[in-house]
Structure 1
Amino acid sequence: MKTAEQFREQAIKLNLHYWEHHTCAICGEPVGYYFFTCPNYEVIFDSGCGCSFGSNPRPSSWEDVAEFYNMQTSLDVINKMDEFWKWEETE
């Protein structure tokens, strides 16, 4: 299991600004998290299109990012996320 702090540190280390974790099943628009470096690497969830979650980006947290990652059960999904976050290369 990964912690919120691990995700935050990895985002800073890799200079990440967006993580698309899936696309909308209705229209195909990306859904994911934006990471803003100022003031303190804040997290914003963006549902993209608004078909199912509403259309306005909303404040989120590193805990939400970690929870989304940790709730996955599909090895294919986990492997894709690990590739994005480069866990194997930095652990």
Structure 2
Amino acid sequence: MLKIFQLSAILEGISYLLLFSFSMPLKYWANITEPNVYIGYVHGFLFIAYMILALVFSMERKIAPKKIVMLVLASLLPFGTFYLDEKYLKPLAIS
């Protein structure tokens, strides 16, 4: 479950960055909306998958409510899921 959750965190983070650094500027500065639609759909799917996996992962590992809040907040901040993976998830994989 840890590996799947790590993968979802990384993919969600990448889609979030693509949305804000690539497709949103195209939409608002160049009036090109198509990439925003597709990247938005992918990001939406990955965000929902990340949230579901965060819930399943936290129930499986019996994670404290404060850390569950951290899992949710990581998905809302740019680079948050990368930080979460490096700081909290990779050490779990080693131990």
Same fold (TM over 0.5): no
Higher strand share: 1
What is the TM-score of this pair, normalised by structure 2?
A: 0.28
What is the TM-score of this pair, normalised by structure 1?
A: 0.29
Q: More relative contact order in 1 or in 2 (CA 8 Å, sep 6+)?
A: 2
The structure with the largest alpha-carbon Rg is: 2
